[in-house]
Amino acid sequence: MAQKSESEAHPDPETEGPTPVAPESLSAEAAAAELERLAGIINTANDAYHQDDAPVMSDASFDALKARNAAIEARFPDLKRADSPSEQVGAAPAEGFGKVRHAVRMLSLANAFDAEDITDFDGRIRRYLNLSEDAALAYTSEPKIDGLSLSLRYESGRLVQAATRGDGSEGENVTANARTIADIPHHISDAPEVLEVRGEVYMSHADFEALNARQAERGGKTFANPRNAAAGSLRQLDAEITRARPLCFFAYAWGEVSEPLADTQWGAIERLAEMGFRTNPLTRRCDGPQALIGHYAEIEQQRATLDYDIDGVVYKVDDLALQGRLGFRSTTPRWAIAHKFPAELAWTRLDAIDIQVGRTGALSPVARLSPVTVGGVVVSNATLHNEDYIAGLDNNGAPIREGRDIRIGDWVQVYRAGDVIPKIKDVDLARRPEDSAAYSFPETCPECGSDAIREPGDSVRRCSGGMACPAQAIEKLKHFVGRTAFDIDGLGAKQIEMFFTAGEITSPAEIFTLEARNVDLKLQERDGFGETSVAKLFAAINERRTIPLERFLFALGIRHVGQTTARTLAATYLTLDALLAALKAAVADPEGEAYAELEGIDGIGPTVVRELLEFMAEAHNRTVLDDLLAQLREVEPFDAPAQDSPVAGKTVVFTGTLEAMTRDEAKARAESLGARVSGSVSKKTDILVAGPGAGSKAKKAAELGITTLTEQEWLELIGGG
Ligand code: IVH
């Protein structure tokens, strides 16, 4: 079972008692009592993690308890209990919820931290839309509720489905649970035929305190904060448990709608309120960044008196037509931003610095801290970024923390910015132990002993061991099975570690040969597995023998090829065969057409091209790739969105001055219609859109006989100005 990261977990009282008696020294009577005790602790921890979203111990402690349980069972097989934890892979209720594919993706918000970020946000929007500084541009401003987002689907006014956000594309079906929330109407009148209402589920402070008091009274687990309590309560397999937990819901957005709700954000929220949804009373309409910042200050002042947690203020462009023009980046809208409240800070001692080796070989220093509560969450790890950061320097060699370095034994100030890994803000030199020494960053990989090299201009030191380094190999595999890559249910980081250590999965292809090898491996007989879970695991693996191209590319873990780049590559080459052929051709001839085309793709810089070609040039990587492909049924060709648009699948180049919209907007619009936008003209270009002042690109297009359109003709083609 994968317990939550330690930074999110509570301290671990269960493992802090006196040293337990070794299994081999236990009498049968003591063993039976100990098995009963362990079943209680482990099963409760399992539920706390999986069902309540409130981990009560670290992974290591959990594993240690399970190992002890297994050792005692091995010695006294007859005493094995019916509820033995060794028979359970983890009571993952997540498996119990059906999955729901969101008709419109549920996105997150970009963050802003100060007034300058807000004026920048306003400036970016004006530039994108080509609006002058004094043109009117209204926003809405509303509290950012610290809960969890939920999408409610109504058809003919009836609530038919409720889904959590999940990974944004696919969430969990929590319809039965959502129906128990009083703020969520089961029927609405005067609604569009299809309406997805989105908002935040949260628990009020009063209800949170009362729930924790009830839990404590019954000897149940208490929650660290109202957000965890809300998440744990919504994600209950038994909806009756959800009903007994008082949850609230504020509506603030929408997904699929069969007809527009209004012309403005403000109007749409008013409409949702008329339909019977609770909307936040602190929402205002503001006429520019200064008014937004003023409203932020007002909300910040009221924060302590609100009966629910908020972690910032959200600003949204009010005009929905402008929202439509601004559109989205890969995971966040351009038309909204979250202005976060300053992070909470706490002082604690830095006990140790550990070095983790990532999948690209980067040596990442991690601070191990004496546990301290920051904003309701116990923190025991923080990132230290790289060796310069520890030494008190930024990426350009300029001092940070006025040049103060960080040493083991120091008192450090930690903070959490949003949901991300805790960071260190400062160090208290007055409390520095006299015998402390400056930290000396390792120059060899702590995992495999290879040289750890720092390239000039790079702030990161990397292990040069490549796939021979077990840490890199294991991290690559973890990435491969991750949620945004192959996403294999039942094969997470924990299982990869176990299979890798045993030498049973050392390459992606070996995941797919696991079932065939099970005649010898006999996974069903192992601790933590059973017939059912093994069958489920193989089914999940087999399901992924067909995989979309963009996921496949991302899963390979090539440096600098993140989700967006993988998608761009998939959208450009459409099939794996075409991409591989292009890469091979580019490796063979760096002066040739294939190379030029690769470099010409909008959004693919020279760094990505270099990494891709280095990856392909490496014989070992090609073997890994071929072995993997031999195991897969199909790498599905890229499925371009909006196939019915006249420009779907076409490669478009913009040149010259555009008048109706900015270059950024033109590009985003073309992409949303399924076109590929390239920066250079080649034989593969389908359309050149040439504004006034077009030069060499127009000439080349004419030579190649490529369709050339004026901006007006282009707009007519894609249907509208
Ligand atoms: S708007 C397309 N408004 O914050 C953007 N989100 O960090 C839709 N949240 O996932 C989100 N209060 O769970 C929006 N007033 C508010 C919000 C809000 C809380 C959450 C939401 C979202 C997360 C992004």
Q: How far apart are CA 559 and CA 358, in angstroms?
A: 11
The reply to whether ligand 1 has any atom less than 6 angstroms from the CB of 377 is: no
The reply to whether ligand 1 has any atom less than 6 angstroms from the CB of 109 is: yes
Atom number of ligand 1 nearest to Cα 146:
19
* 353 CB neighbour count, 10 Å cutoff: 17
pLDDT band at 649 (very low <50, low <70, confident <90, very high): confident
Report the amino acid identity of residue 417.
A
Distance 322 CA to ligand 1 centre (A): 19
Q: Which residue has the higher pLDDT, 126 or 344?
A: 126
The string of pLDDT tens digits covering residues 658-675 is 888 888 889 888 988 888
Residue 8, pLDDT > 70, answer no
Average pLDDT (186-209) is 96
Class of domain 548-636: mainly alpha
Distance 140 CA to ligand 1 centre (A): 13
The reply to whether ligand 1 has any atom less than 6 angstroms from the CB of 310 is: no
Report which of 241, 245, 259, 281 is spatially closest to residue 154, judged by C-alpha positions.
Answer: 259
Q: How far apart are CA 308 and CA 316, in angstroms?
A: 22
* 190 CB neighbour count, 10 Å cutoff: 8
Backbone φ, ψ for residue 686 (5° rounding): -100, -40
Distance 145 CA to ligand 1 centre (A): 7
Residue 350, pLDDT > 50, answer yes
Backbone φ, ψ for residue 194 (5° rounding): -115, 130
Report which of 280, 283, 212, 199 is spatially closest to residue 246, judged by C-alpha positions.
Answer: 212
> Which H helix or E strand runs over 683?
none
The reply to whether ligand 1 has any atom less than 6 angstroms from the CB of 314 is: yes
Cα angle, residue 167 at apex, residues 635 and 542 outer, rounded to 5°: 35
Is 144 annotated as catalytic? yes
The string of pLDDT tens digits covering residues 156-196 is 999 999 999 988 888 999 999 999 999 999 999 999 999 99
pLDDT band at 377 (very low <50, low <70, confident <90, very high): confident
Residue pair 203/246 in contact (Cβ under 8 Å)? The answer is yes
Distance 144 CA to ligand 1 centre (A): 6
The reply to whether ligand 1 has any atom less than 6 angstroms from the CB of 393 is: no
The reply to whether ligand 1 has any atom less than 6 angstroms from the CB of 326 is: no
Nearest CA to ligand 1 atom 22: 108
Q: How far apart are CA 558 and CA 453, in angstroms?
A: 19
Report which of 674, 677, 664 is spatially closest to residue 718, judged by C-alpha positions.
Answer: 674
Nearest CA to ligand 1 atom 16: 144
Q: Average pLDDT of the chain?
A: 89
The reply to whether ligand 1 has any atom less than 6 angstroms from the CB of 333 is: yes
Distance 182 CA to ligand 1 centre (A): 21
The CATH fold of domain 651-718:
Rossmann fold (3.40.50)
Residue 17, pLDDT > 80, answer no
Kindly tell me the sign of the dihedral angle through the C-alpha atoms of 603, 607, 608, 610: positive
The string of pLDDT tens digits covering residues 505-549 is 999 999 999 999 999 999 999 988 889 999 999 999 999 999 999
Question: Is 3.30.559.10 the CATH classification of the domain at 99-330?
Answer: no
Residue 419, pLDDT > 80, answer no
Return the CATH superfamily for domain 4-85+344-431.
Answer: Nucleic acid-binding proteins (2.40.50.140)
The string of pLDDT tens digits covering residues 18-68 is 567 888 888 888 888 898 888 888 877 766 655 555 667 765 677 678 878
Nearest CA to ligand 1 atom 21: 149
Residue 7, pLDDT > 50, answer no
Q: Which of 144, 316, 650, 697 is catalytic?
A: 144
Domain boundaries, the chain: 4-85+344-431, 99-330, 548-636, 651-718
pLDDT band at 14 (very low <50, low <70, confident <90, very high): very low
